[in-house]
Amino acid sequence: MGKILIVAEKPSQAREYAKTLGVKGKGNGYFQNDDYIITWCIGHLLELNRPEEYMDINKVGKKWGLHRLPILPPFKQFKHQVKASTKNQYTILTQLLNSTEVDRVICGTDADREGQLLFQEVWDLVQCTKPLKRLWVSSLTSEAILEGMKQLRTEGDVRGLAQAGYGRSYGDWDFGMNLTEGFSALFGSFDPIRKKPNVVSIGRVQTPTLALVVEREWEIEQFDPVQYCEVEAEFKASTGNYTGKWVVAPGESEGKSTSEGNLQNSNGPVHGLDRVRADAIAAKVKGKCGKVHSIEAKEVQEAHPLLFDLTSLTVAASKRFGMTAEQVLKTAQSLYEKKATTYPRTDCNFLPVDILPKLPSHLRALQIEPYKEWVEEALEKDLPKGKRVINEITAHHAIIPTTERISPEKLSPDEWKLWDMIVRRFLSVWFPPARYETTVVHTQVEGEYFRTRGKVLLDLGWKKITGDKSDEEETPKRRKGKSKNAESGVDGEDVNADFVTLPVLSMEEVVTLLEAMVKEKETKPPKRYTQGDLLKAMENAGKKVEDELLQQQLKGKGLGTVATRPAIIENLLERGYLLQDHRTLQPTEKGKELIRLIKEELPKAQLLVSAEMTGQMEFELAQVEQGKVELEIYMAQIEKAIIEILDELKAFEKKFGKRPLSLAPAKMKGNGNKAVSKKRTSTPEGKEEKKLPSQEMEDSAQSSVRISSTQPEVLGRCPLCSGDIIEGKKGYGCLNWRKGCTFVVWKTPICGKVLSPTQVKKLLKKGSTDLIKGFRSKSGKSFSAYLVWAEEGSAKLKFVFEKD
C-alpha cells in the first residue's frame, strides 16, 4: 500500500499534523515517513488571469475603456496561473499529487470555503483522480487532529463547499474586473501627485461597505441638533442628600406635555424642555418641600455574555485596546496556530452538544494563574447547558481555549490580550448571572415630579471572572449606586446609565429641595464608525433588507464573511475611499462622490451600494454550497447584473461624457491614514510663502485646465464674462482666466461646510443654494441657512436664513 498525502494550508499547520502523526522525516517542502507525506499550499498557489487574457488586444487596445467590456468568461473556462511567489511550492505539490508513491490524498487546509478553494484549484488543475478525503478540525491540538483523522469526510461531502468557493472567486472577479475598469474609464483620471491613474475600484462587498460609512457621514453633516433643557434638583432627606431629574407625572405619556413646553424633533422622540418651561419649573419648586411619592425596588439579573465569534472579539478588542480588524484577525490566527485557541474565522457564538464531555479538559488546561481559583470552582459545577452556550452551530463553533496548556510568557503582548479575553469569556459561562437591586424613586414637589434611580450590587456572579470589580465592595444596606461613568460592564459597555447614590428613604417622607438647576443640552449627531463598529454594521446589514429569507441569510454574514471583512476595511483605506482618524473612520471626497454618483445618477448600479445585492449573492452561494443551486445558474445571475450596469455606464458616457471623481488624499506616514495637504513653496526661513490672490486664482484655474482633457463638467455660466465654470482643485473657476476673468468660488470651508458641485450649480443657475444644514458658528452652535451672492457679479457669498 502506498502513502497518504496530507495537504495543509501553511507550513505551521503541516508541522502540527506531522507532530501528531509522528512524521519526523523532512524533505524539500514536505514531511514524510513510511505512512504519510505532509505538504502545504502557502495560501493560494494560483490566481485568476487578468482580463486581457480573454481579449483580442489588437482589436480592443490596451487602454481601459467601456468598449472593451464586458469580459465574462464561462465559469468552466476561467484561466488560472501560478503565482510567481509560490511557484516552487506549487511544483512540489503537483509532483507529490502525481507521484506513484502516493495512492490517497487528504485535504487538510483550513476548514472553510476559502481553505477548500485554495486546495481545490490545484487539485482540479492537476486533474488528480486519486481517492480524496477531507480533514475537518476546529483546533490544531493533537486530540482534535487525531479525532478528525478518525472522522474524515468524503469528497462528496465538501463538493458544494468547493463549488461555492469557485462561485465566490469567479463572482468577485467578474464584478471587480468589469466594473472597476468601467467606472475608472468613465470617472477616473490621472493622479499628478502619485503619477498614476486614479482608479475607481468597485467590489461586491467593498462598495456597499463604503456606502455604510458615507451614509453615516451624510447623517452627521445633515444632522440638525435640537437644543433643550433639563431640570435637576438636589434633595435633603433625614438619612442624606440625593439628586433627581424632572419627569412627567408617573403613568403619563412623555409626549403628553409637548404643548406645555416639551421639545420634540421631527422623528417624534421628546428631548426635554424648552428654556421657558424649564425656568418656570425651577422657579415653581425653588425653596419648597416635597415628599417621596413612590419607591419601586426590584432585583435584576445580568446573564454572562455569549462566547466570542470573530466579529464580537474584534469589536471588544477594538473598544478596549484600539486594535484594528486586521490586527485582531492576524493575532487570532496566530493563537490558533500556536494551539492556544480554536479556529478563529467563525461567525458562531455557541458550542455543539457533542463538545460537552470535553469541556472539563479545556478547563484543566487553564489551571494557571490568574485563572486557577476560578477553574477549580468551575470544575465543581455542572456543565453549562443553557441555550446561551449550547446551541446550533455553523461550520465552526465559538472561539474558546483549547485543551493545550499554554505558557502566557510565550505569547506576544497582543496575543496575550486576546487570549486573556477569550479565556475569561469562556470561564464566565460556568458562573451565575450578576445580580443587582435597582430602585426608582419619584419625589413630588408642588405637583412636579423628579425621578432618581439607584442600583446596588447583590452578587458579582460571572463578572468576577471578566475583571469587572468596580463595585465589588458595594453593600446592599445602603442602596448605593454610581455616577454614569463609574462602572463599565463587559467590553466597556456602561451598565449604570444615570444611576446615582440613594440614601435609605421611606414612602411619604418629607424632603427639602435645596437647589433646582436648569441645564442646557443639545442632541448629538450619530457617531462615526470605528473599525469594530463597522464590522458589526457589516454583519448586521440584513436589518436594511425587507425580504425575510434574505434577512436570515444575512444574519451573521451580512456584507462579506468574518474572514474577509477586515481585509475589506484595509482595502477601503488603501484605495483612498476612507481615512482613519485616531479610532474613527470617515470617507474621503472620492468615496462620497462615488456613492453620491451611484445613488443619484445610476439606478441600475444602486445594487452596488445595497445590502440586498450582497444578501442575494450570499443566499445563492449558500444554495450552491448545499447543492440546491447549480454554480452555472449563480454565475448567470451575476453576469446579468454586470451587463445591466455596464449598459447604464455606456448610456451615461454617451449622454454626459467623462466625469472625473476627486483624487484620493495623500497619506501621512506613521499616522494611520490621515490626509496631508500638498506641500507649498517655502521661504529660506521655513515660513510658508504667501501667494497673491491673482496667483492663487491662476493656480485654481490651471488645475481645471490641466484636467480638461478628461472633459470636466461645466457647472454653469460665469456671472462676469459668461464663460464656462468648472471645478478645480482649490475652487470653482472660469475657463476664461487667461483672458483676465478673475471669477472663482473657493473651496475654503464656510462655517465648516465646503460647497459641492451641485450647490455651485444651483448658485450659478438660481442665485441661491438649497437650505444647507450643519453650519457651525464660532461658539460651536449649529445652524441652517441658504447661501446667495453678496452682490451681483461678485463671487462673494452671504447667508440668508429661513425666516428671511
Is there a contact between 636 and 53 (Cβ–Cβ < 8 Å)?
A: no
310-428 placed in CATH 2.60.40.10? no
Looking at residue 243, what is its pLDDT?
95
Q: How confident is the model at residue 496 (pLDDT cuts 50, 70, 90)?
A: very low
Which residue is associated with the grid cell 406645555? Answer: 260
Which secondary-structure segment (H or E) carries 494? none
Residue 465 backbone phi and psi in degrees, to 5: -85, -40
**CA-based Rg of the chain, rounded to a whole angstrom?**
32
Q: Is the pLDDT of residue 343 over 70?
A: yes
pLDDT at position 478 is 32
How long a stretch of residues is the chain?
804
Q: 673-714 pLDDT, tens per residue? A: 333 333 323 333 333 333 333 333 334 334 433 333 345 788
pLDDT in tens, 149-180: 999 999 999 999 999 999 999 999 999 999 99
Q: How many CA atoms lie within 13 A of 293 on its CB side?
A: 19
Q: How far, in Å, CA of 52 to CA of 57, rounded?
A: 7
pLDDT digits (tens, 9 = 90+) for 749-773: 788 788 888 889 989 888 899 888 8
Give the model's confidence band at 803: pLDDT under 50 very low, under 70 low, under 90 confident, else very high. low
Give the DSSP H/E element, type plus range, for residue 664. Answer: none
Q: Outline where 63-158 has alpha helix (H).
A: 87-98, 113-126, 142-150
Q: Using one digit for the tens of pLDDT, what is the confidence trace for 474-490?
A: 333 333 333 333 333 33
Is pLDDT above 70 for 494? no
- The b/e string for 597-622 (b: 16+ C-beta within 10 A; e otherwise) is bbbeebebbbbbbbbbbbbbbbbbbb
Confidence of residue 664 (pLDDT cuts 50, 70, 90): confident
In 217-255, which positions are buried (b, 16+ CB within 10 angstroms) versus exposed (e)?
A: beeeeeeebbebbbbebebebeeeebbbbbbbeeeeeee
Give the model confidence (pLDDT) of 381-428 as tens digits: 998 888 899 988 877 899 999 999 999 889 999 999 999 999 999 999
Report DSSP state, residue 768.
Answer: B
Name the residue with cell 512540489.
92
Give residue 173's Cα distance to chain centre: 23
Cell (9 digits) for 12: 505551521
DSSP state of 138: S
Can you give the pLDDT at residue 468? Answer: 56
Classify domain 227-300+436-456+468-522 by CATH number.
2.70.20.10
pLDDT score at 288: 95
For residue 668, pLDDT over 50 is answered with no
Helices (H), 434-547: 463-466, 531-539
Q: Kindly tell me if the per-residue pLDDT of 792 is higher than 80.
A: no
Domains in the chain: boundaries:
3-169, 170-221+527-667, 227-300+436-456+468-522, 310-428, 692-800
Query: Residue 315 pLDDT > 70, yes or no?
Result: yes
Q: Quick one: cell of 4?
A: 497518504
Checking if the pLDDT of 498 tops 70, the result is no
Whose grid coordinates read 409637548? 258
Which of the four pLDDT bands, split at 50, 70 and 90, describes residue 260?
low
Q: Confirm if 299 and 448 have CB atoms less than 8 A apart.
A: no
Mean pLDDT score across all residues of the chain: 85
| Burial track 149-168 (b if 16+ CB lie within 10 A, e otherwise) | beeebeeeebebbbbbbbbb
pLDDT tens figures, 273-288: 999 999 999 999 999 9
Give the model's pLDDT for residue 362. 95
Strands 46-48 and 80-82, bridge-based pairing: antiparallel
Report the pLDDT value the prediction gives residue 271, as an integer from 0 to 100.
59
Closest listed residue to residue 48, CA positions, set 163, 158, 166 = 166
Task: Compute the average pLDDT of residues 61-83.
Answer: 95
How far is C-alpha 578 from the geometric centre of its chain's CA atoms?
Answer: 12
- Residue 557 has a pLDDT of 59
Class of domain 170-221+527-667: mainly alpha
* Third-level CATH fold of 3-169: Rossmann fold (3.40.50)
**783: Cβ–Cβ under 8 A, 6 or more apart, which residues?**
751, 775, 776, 777, 801
pLDDT value for 774:
77
* Mean pLDDT of the 438-462 span: 94
- pLDDT per residue as tens digits for the range 571-596: 999 999 999 988 899 999 999 999 99
Q: What is the pLDDT of residues 220-253, one digit of tens each?
A: 999 989 999 999 999 999 999 999 999 999 877 5
**Set of cell numbers at residue 353:** 452538544
pLDDT above 50: residue 669: no
Mind listing the pLDDT tens digit for each residue in 704-755?
333 333 457 889 888 888 888 998 878 888 888 777 788 889 888 788 788 8
pTM for the whole structure: 0.75
Distance between CA atoms of 592 and 335, rounded to whole angstroms?
A: 38
pLDDT at 262: 58
